[in-house]
């Protein structure tokens, strides 16, 4: 009888140890990540030929500028994605760049990414937008779903100048 009671006690001790390990290694890290301050996306804009734009010609070079501010220390990667906006279908990544960041509270940084659009705004293809992912806080920011601020691309007509 004593051996059954002892086995029952050992089983209970093992279950308690497993529960403690689950709390320490699974639940607490998740709570800690939630309490981290999310970086602020202060501004995202498009530039072509050193001018802010919301329309560009097909094949021209475009720069994405993202101004990020942190309210407390942020160490981790930031992924900036230029995505294709397709009506009534899945959006897709067009250009992706990862930036390693190590910022102290109150610091601001500007991230830049350059690309050339390969498709004009027509039919179901509406244009391009920016999505930013913060790895350390497991959060993301997506550009407003309107034009502007999203980027439209037009086909250059013969005899037109270089700017839209």
Q: Is the peptide bond before 149 cis (omega within 30 degrees of 0)?
A: yes
Query: Using one digit for the tens of pLDDT, what is the confidence trace for 117-135?
Result: 999 999 999 999 999 999 9
Query: Using one digit for the tens of pLDDT, what is the confidence trace for 36-57?
Result: 678 999 999 999 999 999 999 9
Residues 70, 54: Cα–Cα separation, whole Å:
27
Residue 142 dihedral angles phi and psi, to the nearest 5°: -125, 135
Domain at 37-154, CATH homologous superfamily? Immunoglobulins (2.60.40.10)
Summary mean pLDDT of the chain: 87
Query: Using one digit for the tens of pLDDT, what is the confidence trace for 103-112?
Result: 998 999 999 9
């Amino acid at each position: 009888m004593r051996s059954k009671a002892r086995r029952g006690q050992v089983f209970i001790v093992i279950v308690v140890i497993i529960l403690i390990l689950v709390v320490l290694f699974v639940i607490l890290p998740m709570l800690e990540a939630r309490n981290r301050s999310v970086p602020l996306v202060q501004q995202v804009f498009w530039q072509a030929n050193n001018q802010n734009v919301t329309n560009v010609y097909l094949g021209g070079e475009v720069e994405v500028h993202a101004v990020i501010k942190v309210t407390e220390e942020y160490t981790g990667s930031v992924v900036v994605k230029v995505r294709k906006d397709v009506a009534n279908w899945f959006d897709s990544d067009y250009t992706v760049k990862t930036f390693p960041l190590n910022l102290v509270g109150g610091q601001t940084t500007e991230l830049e990414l350059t690309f050339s659009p390969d498709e004009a705004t027509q039919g179901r293809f509406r244009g391009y937008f920016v999505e930013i992912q913060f790895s350390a806080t497991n959060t993301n920011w997506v550009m407003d779903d309107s034009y502007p601020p999203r980027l439209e691309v037009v086909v250059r007509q013969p005899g037109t100048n270089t700017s839209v």
